[in-house]
Structure 1
Amino acid sequence: MWSFIVPAHDEAPLIGATLDALQAAARECGVAHECIVVDDASTDGTADIARAHGARVVPVAFRHIAATRNAGAAQATGTRLCFVDADTRVDARVLRAAIAALDAGAVGGGCAVELDGDVRWSLRVLTKALMQLFRWTRVTPGCFLYCTRDAFDAIGGFDTRWYAGEDVAFGRALARIGRMRILREAVHTSDRKLRTFGLVDHLRLMLRFALRGRRMLHSRDHLALWYDKRRH
């Protein structure tokens, strides 16, 4: 049994396609599954759309991605958990690879990422290079994370000290208790961060991180890339 957990805040434009893709992938792979959307203080039709697309909706008001993911896991009944961002489409190829990894004894992992939209070729090349670097350094991008239920419980879920970077901390925690697998197969995720925030915004974030280090991730302050409204 797979539990797909989708944290969501004002995701009405994209949540339907994400859920449809997940359910199609699960059917093609022949696995029992459930979809749980954790609706974190949405002000649009996210919850209604999620229900219309076959998901169970868990309402919360955290505006804290780690806590929101944990709330979904608390309601999940599956022995295998998969955390998927609301702007990310998963196909059967990716899910089949995740199934094979867990069947072979991995405790969990992540996968490669490709950006949807009209993205410049230079950014696509950079993204591919980053994905290879992530494989080498065992970094798990947060748009697709999978693990066994036992592994999730063993590490205590997502560390709620982090308002961003909780995905990397999660992957590091998994690696401490067992074999962690980063899949070569890629999910497709929206390029909306690039459309919403420009080069100056990204450079400003990098500068703050250089000055303050990881402690800046312990608060929503200055984390607009994750918590401000984005252009769809």
Structure 2
Amino acid sequence: MVTVSIIIPTYNEASCIEAVLHHIDQLEPAPHEIIIVDGGSSDNTKHLIAAHQFRLIDSPKLGRAAQMDLGAKKASGEILCFLHADTYPPLDLVNIVQETLSDEVVLAGFRSIMQGSCNQRMTSFHNRVKTYYAPFIYNPYRASFKGLRLLFGDQLMFCKKEDYTRSGGFNTEMEIMEEADLCIKMNRIGRIKQIDHKVYSSDRRVAKWGVLKSNIIFITIATLWALGVPNKKLARIYTHIR
């Protein structure tokens, strides 16, 4: 059986991390390892993690790209799963990822369903379709003929460690759109797939901004990225408009 490592980047996630870790405890079969890479939390996050006896790594650099890349390098599993701290995977996660990856499919992700304080059907629908329309904005040829899909963090991306390493992995200098950048790299090796299984993510940010504003932000940032706006400038724009 292929071994699976789950990598979770955290930074001040005390409000949600405990429930997610309790959920992960119930995965069947259990993953080979769970690695949590903390970016210097100042709240109760690390204390809550310690109660579960998962592997905790302190990252010298804050940022999801840097934290996930560090976790990937430390992982000993053959498959890497990149899980956000507010996302709940299916309980048969290990079987699903083992069955999905092949010589043709090198990177995959789930359908992301937003849940929480308000109706998020629009956002959940947009999460599903942007995997397909966003690549056409970036590169219509690769989207049409080379299996390019753009996956995002709340879709629980997963791949073989050897393919991750071969692609060059996450760009640790990126502050935003690091998952899309990884998709571009991985697509040079093989096809990318959104599978017909669901993960459930907290709508805390979408609820704070509002459904319409949130989706306008997502579309704007993805479009500017595809047009080549520098990443640091893109991060400043994102911080300003949100």
TM-score band (shorter)? 0.7 to 0.9
Q: Say whether the 8 Å CA contact 1:22–1:91 is kept in structure 2.
A: no
CA RMSD of aligned residues (A): 2.8
Q: Which residue of 2 aligns with 1:89?
A: 88
Cα deviations by residue, 1:46-104 (Å, 9 ceiling, x for unpaired): 11211212311111242222111111112111111101000001112454322211257
Distance 2:82 2:215 in 1: 25
Q: Which residue of 1 aligns with 2:121?
A: 124
Q: Which residue of 2 aligns with 1:224?
A: 239
Q: Which residue of 1 aligns with 2:180?
A: 168
Q: Percent of counterpart pairs with the same letter?
A: 25
Cα deviations by residue, 1:91-120 (Å, 9 ceiling, x for unpaired): 124543222112575322111100111333
| 2:197 corresponds to which of 167, 172, 185 | 185
Distance 1:34 1:82 in 2: 10
Structure 2 stretches lacking a partner, 5+ long: 136-148
Q: Which residue of 2 aligns with 1:42?
A: 41
Distance 1:94 1:204 in 2: 30
Cα deviations by residue, 1:148-169 (Å, 9 ceiling, x for unpaired): 0100110111023421111111
Q: Which residue of 1 aligns with 2:146?
A: none
Instruction: Provide the secondary structure at the position in 1 that maps to 2:184.
Output: helix
Distance 2:195 2:223 in 1: 30
Normalised TM-score (structure 1): 0.82
Instruction: Provide the secondary structure at the position in 1 that maps to 2:24.
Output: helix
Structure 1 stretches lacking a partner, 5+ long: none
Q: Relative to structure 1, is the Cα distance of residues 93 and 124 closer, same or farther in structure 2, using a 3 angstrom cutoff? A: farther
Matches within 5 A, 1:1-232: 1-25=3-27, 28=28, 30-102=29-101, 106-120=105-119, 123-135=120-132, 137=135, 138-143=149-154, 144-198=156-210, 203=216, 213-218=227-232, 220-224=235-239
Instruction: Provide the secondary structure at the position in 1 that maps to 2:237.
Output: coil
Q: Relative to structure 1, is the Cα distance of residues 130 and 59 closer, same or farther in structure 2, using a 3 angstrom cutoff? A: closer
Normalised TM-score (structure 2): 0.79
Instruction: Provide the secondary structure at the position in 2 that maps to 1:164.
Output: coil
